[in-house]
Structure 1
Amino acid sequence: MMDPRTSAQDVMRCDLCETAVVQMHCDTCLVNLCKACVGEHFSADLSKPHKIVDFKDRKSTPLHPKCKSHDKEQCEMYCKQCDIPVCISCLESNQHLGHELSKILRVLDEIKEVITKERNELNDKIYPTYQDIASDVQNRMSQLEKEYRDLSTAITKHGEDWHREIDKLVKKLKAKVDEMKNTQLQTLQKHLDEINKTMSDIKDEINSMETVIDNNDMSKLFSVTSQVKRYRNLPDKVIPFLPKFIPGNIKSKELGKMFGVLSSSSLTSDKHGYNMKTTQKSPEAGSSPPVKQLLDEPKTVTTIDTGYDRLYNVACLSDVEIWTSGSDSIMKLYSINQGSLLKSITTKSGKIPYDIAVTKSGDLVYTNYFVSDRTVNIVKNEKIEEVIRLQNWKPKGVCSTSSGDLLVIMNSDDNKQTKVVRYSGSTEKQTIQFDDKGKPLYSPSSLYLRYITENRNLDICVSDSDAKAVVVVSLAGKLRFRYTGHTPAPKNKPFYPQGIATDSQSHILTADIDNDCVHIIDQDGQFLCYIDCGLSYPLGLCTDTNDNLFVAQLENKQVKKIKYM
């Protein structure tokens, strides 16, 4: 049986007699009492001013804190300067003379108001926001499960495609074996038939000779013509030689590259990713881009004729407009959909721009490489402003970063050094030139174009054509990897990287001018695939916000828009 005095269904009992129903409450001692036990409670401790109230009004009497300096005193005032409760004895001792004092009950009300506001904020804003965050994380986990399933399915499907191709190859090789076997067997059978016929002729010859020998007719003996000499010339020996199957050397690393590679996964934190419940989630929340797959067969969407003698560069102003530059001093803005010329800007120096880029705010940036005008310039409202002027260095490639900085790759005047410099406006913020061992990251050059771009993970990517490599360093300038091409290349020529771009998946794309293709590698330098689409001398590259690729082709002066994801 359950004890009725402790049952959750039972009414509350007096803390003293433990029998009668609670009717009163001592707010001083926080004790529940029946009316009969009130007197006993008073007499138990006469040193306290017991505050007895109806049970329903319990805890309505504020409990004054005891003074730390005077044990038997209660604090009824609050010293704001010392930020402590004080009693009458404290005040009489002149310890707080001249200090601002308040009644402790008023301070209590102020504190309660602050706590109430904070409780309401926790209850109405912060906790619901965390509920939304938890729901968001759960949704991301569910989406992640689905996307990883899709990824595994894609790998399985690719494996099945490989199995089918291997089955076809095995079937083809076995058919070739059967064909070779049948050819050799037919040759041997023909040879055997000839031998059997000769053997039959020899038997006839033997029988004929035996008949003559046993015959007494001399005229028949004189008429015998022996064929022994002919039969002494034995036939050639036909020796079949079997073909050998020489299996290819299976190297798991190379096989893995041929089959396909898996780019690295990552997790990033965005401290601005969530807002409080009172507003909608910020657009940056969940800023990880949707996972896109590379197309098996990239497609040319449109081609734009630019009219240059030689076309060098292309830069996306938007998803519908591109800037181009080539072998003269004019930079041209084209409509992508119409292919029409919208605007032309002539460089301030009248010389060929080495490279062009577009800033976050949509302004055109270009570099002048010539010794007489070693500058980086920006075009705002069709007016050209000089941003950077170099001494003893010549600017080559330029790009605008996600933070609004400019990255410029440059050569020394004597062409013995190459470095990357980060600028905020015209202020130099960072120089990247050597690795941890003090060796140059980039090869010196005066002859070839150099291109630079920033990846989504803030890596800095440079096409170093002299070194036949793409050099990738971290935001801090530490070498991450060098990509030196993939074999076999479409035309089996050495890797010769030129234009470079990145996309929403942190892929790195670089134009291989001698092989008439574009290499796609992941953010860790693993080769993924080639894009050719009938390209001819691809040079400058850029991508738009929808991950379309634009390729500036040197000789035919055309820009190709290619869908590859």
Structure 2
Amino acid sequence: MKCVITSHNGHNVKDIPNIFNDKKKEIQKETLEIESSIIPKYKKKNEDSDRDITLCLEKYFDLEKETEKQRTMWHREVDSIFNKFGTLITSMRENHLAVLKANQSKLRGMIPEILQTVKRNKEIMKSNKVSEVTNHESNLVEYRNSLADPSVPIPSLKTSTVQGKEFSIELEKYKATLTQISLSSLKEEVSFSSTRELLDKVRVIATIPTGVKPLHRVVAVGGDKAWVSGLDKALKCVNIYGSVEQILALTQQIYPSDISLTREGELIYSISEDRTVNIVRREGIEILIKTPQEWTPEGLSCTKSGNILVTLSNRQQKMIARYHGQEVKQEIFKDENGKALFASGKLVPFIAENNNGGICVSDINAQTVVVLDTTGRVRFRYNGRPAGRRKGFVPRKIVTDSMSQIIVEDLRSDCLHILDQDGQFLKCLDRCGIPKPCGLSVDSEGRLWVGLFEKGEIKVIRYMI
């Protein structure tokens, strides 16, 4: 009132009842649009998602069928090329389905939220509380924008035949041609150049806070969650949305050296101090392996055959043991010249089995990756120099993927090194914001789950296509 009757009236004056009524009209208009337009569109999009997924599968089935038809026209020696195309199609299909399913999941998840918004808006419209009305924030723009369809085109297969002279097959940017020349260059073009192009298309899918600092280990479960561990005497299961699904208190009073999943999906972890590898079952935690006196278990890897590879350490040396239950089936610690395969030291060497049965070890004490065949003979060593990192090479967790590529964390250079199964350096992933990577796993969708030591976060990275 003083502003009106005195000289202090340099600003516009509006009655609070008018502001209140105008705001209610805006909320009423918003609610009407959500009920009459937005919600029906979300429900329709959700129904259309099933159709899109079915159509996507049919198209990819036709694509694979056409690929197999063309395969019969090519010589047997180029089977490796078609196997590569099959892998590319599978990867494209899984990525496409992942996008469609993620969009469907988002639609389903937002419908209850929108319904709750409508309910809340109606309650506000019935209310005479000024603060509830004036503090209302609209989500209408977000709801409108979230209806956009994901744009992922289905690739087409192109073939060309000049009988007796040339056959060619092309899938988007990936092409193979058979002419009257050596096939080795063609295999290299498909398996090496195409892989490099795939690795250039890297993006971060999610950043997941775990609440575990420092974060030591990560093992993905399916495509939407992971077990993690740090210095706590517990294991935590978090999903891709950052929610904690389970916390498992350990029976031992010490944190695990490493964690992994068996072929059946059961969680196992190693405790160096009491020389055990433990398994988590419905009935509780059981001791799966008790290592020999003076040998402590460190890195773990569960193989496709059901065995467990364990890196063991004593005061003098490191060793790999292949366990089938409690029984040691294989011990690897010397090369063909009788020299120690791995450097001694306090740091944990990590281990992974490749698709060809090869054993990949990140020997951090020697700052080297060592890859062995199934008999334990050295196939090659990798010292990180092809990547050209200035800070040197400190390999940590190591994994392999469906294309038999070897992926190893470089703690010092904040990146991931990717090699093919024969040790050829392919690429460094260093633009994903992964400072001090210290946990690594590949999920069922072929994505990397990278743990960040200091931040206590997981970066989910799609690194192929």
Q: Distance in 1 between matches of 2:306 and 2:197?
A: 29
Q: Distance in 2 between matches of 1:404 and 1:382?
A: 21
The Cα shift of 1:440 comes to 1.1
The Cα shift of 1:489 comes to 3.6
Alignment partner, residue 528 of structure 1: 426
Secondary structure at the residue paired with 2:366? coil
Alignment partner, residue 267 of structure 2: 364
Q: Distance in 2 between matches of 1:328 and 1:515?
A: 27
Alignment partner, residue 251 of structure 2: 348
Amino acid at match of 1:514: R
Q: Distance in 2 between matches of 1:152 and 1:438?
A: 50
Q: Distance in 1 between matches of 2:220 and 2:461?
A: 13
Q: Identity over the aligned pairs, expressed in percent? A: 38
The Cα shift of 1:382 comes to 6.0
Higher Cα Rg, which structure: 1
How many corresponding residue pairs? 298
Alignment partner, residue 434 of structure 1: 334
The Cα shift of 1:528 comes to 0.2
The Cα offsets for residues 493-522 of structure 1, whole Å up to 9 and x where unpaired, read as 111100111100000000001100000000
Q: Quick check: 1:461 aligned with 2:360?
A: yes
Q: Quick check: 1:537 aligned with 2:412?
A: no
The Cα shift of 1:140 comes to 4.0
Structure 2, unmatched stretches of 5+, are 1-65, 86-167, 177-187
| More strand by percentage | 2
The Cα offsets for residues 159-184 of structure 1, whole Å up to 9 and x where unpaired, read as xxxxxxxxxxxxxxxxxxxxxxxxxx
Pairwise CA RMSD: 2.9
The correspondence of residues 152-167 of structure 1 with structure 2, limited to 5 A, is 154=174
Instruction: Indicate conservation of the 8 Å contact 1:377/1:385, yes or no.
Output: yes
The correspondence of residues 309-388 of structure 1 with structure 2, limited to 5 A, is 309-336=213-240, 338-370=241-273, 373-381=274-282, 383-388=284-289
Q: Quick check: 1:515 aligned with 2:418?
A: no
Q: Distance in 2 between matches of 1:488 and 1:356?
A: 28
The Cα shift of 1:151 comes to 8.9
Secondary structure at the residue paired with 2:198? coil
The Cα shift of 1:364 comes to 0.4
Alignment partner, residue 472 of structure 1: 371
Q: Quick check: 1:306 aligned with 2:205?
A: no
The Cα shift of 1:309 comes to 2.2
| More helix by percentage | 2
Q: Distance in 1 between matches of 2:343 and 2:290?
A: 23
Could you say if the C-alpha distance between residues 417 and 307 of structure 1 is closer, same or farther in structure 2, counting changes exceeding 3 Å?
Answer: same
Q: Distance in 2 between matches of 1:403 and 1:317?
A: 19
Alignment partner, residue 323 of structure 2: 423
Could you say if the C-alpha distance between residues 263 and 465 of structure 1 is closer, same or farther in structure 2, counting changes exceeding 3 Å?
Answer: farther
Q: Distance in 2 between matches of 1:152 and 1:313?
A: 38
2:309 corresponds, among 385, 391, 407, to 407
Could you say if the C-alpha distance between residues 482 and 262 of structure 1 is closer, same or farther in structure 2, counting changes exceeding 3 Å?
Answer: farther
Instruction: Please report the TM-score for the alignment, with normalisation by the length of structure 1.
Output: 0.49
Structure 1, unmatched stretches of 5+, are 1-134, 157-259, 265-289
Amino acid at match of 2:289: I
The Cα shift of 1:546 comes to 2.0
Secondary structure at the residue paired with 1:294? helix
Could you say if the C-alpha distance between residues 411 and 262 of structure 1 is closer, same or farther in structure 2, counting changes exceeding 3 Å?
Answer: farther
Instruction: Please report the TM-score for the alignment, with normalisation by the length of structure 2.
Output: 0.60
Q: Quick check: 1:481 aligned with 2:380?
A: yes
Q: Distance in 2 between matches of 1:150 and 1:136?
A: 10
Q: Which has the higher contact order (CA 8 A, sep 6+)?
A: 2
The Cα offsets for residues 119-139 of structure 1, whole Å up to 9 and x where unpaired, read as xxxxxxxxxxxxxxxx99865
Q: Distance in 2 between matches of 1:353 and 1:496?
A: 21
Instruction: Indicate conservation of the 8 Å contact 1:411/1:419, yes or no.
Output: yes
Amino acid at match of 1:315: V
